[in-house]
Structure 1
């Protein structure tokens, strides 16, 4: 009997991050009601960004913003995609990237096919 792994953040990011809390688990833990979907997603993304960024507390960058952006692009880490999803909501009220991230889909274009197959993050945007 073959066991099918459901696509989720743990399947996509488990090998790269130990700070993953699935959205449904976070909702149960938070136990709060929010004024809108956007507010709830922003609260979740903020918590996840804090967890992912914990190892960077006290790290000194040459420039606070550019250094952080450089770190995120060099590491190709989950923090970069959390920030993408957060800014999409904060700037354009677009919840789609956050919903895709929560579903375990990568937002980064042009991922290596072996990574996509191994992690089952099939929603990765492909370059046109």
Structure 2
């Protein structure tokens, strides 16, 4: 089995999340047909947000959205980027952040250069 080329979500998020499901794997698992690209991206992003937030169930902040926002602001960069991509579609019909996230790219700028070099998380490039 050949490794996925960089960037990809597994390499990008391996140290930060244990619930990453690549987009093609999710498509195969769900087996659903969607009306358009943005609807499919929204469904994927929502599924991933729910998976990331599953560990918050039963925490002191019991409302899922409040718990999600509290958790994101403190320690879960992937949830923050998933939510940003989701809201970009909902509020602006902009699928580009979702495309980048699905391709394994990070949406946050200014990440450590060694992490960027290892993961190619800003896209496949030879620049560091």
TM-score (norm 1): 0.83
Structure 1 residue ranges, 4+ long, deviating more than 4 angstroms after superposition: 62-67
Alpha carbons of structure 1 residues 6 and 119: separation in structure 2 relative to 1, 3 Å? closer
Aligned ranges 1:107-126 → 2 under 5 Å: 107-123=107-123
Aligned ranges 1:77-116 → 2 under 5 Å: 77-116=77-116
Q: Secondary structure at the match of 1:72?
A: helix
Q: Which runs of 5+ in 1 are unaligned?
A: 124-128
Alpha carbons of structure 1 residues 116 and 28: separation in structure 2 relative to 1, 3 Å? same
TM-score (norm 2): 0.83
Contact 2:89/2:95, CA 8 A, preserved across alignment: yes
- Superposition RMSD in Å: 2.2
Q: How many residues align?
A: 121
1 or 2 for the larger relative contact order (CA 8 Å, sep ≥6)?
2
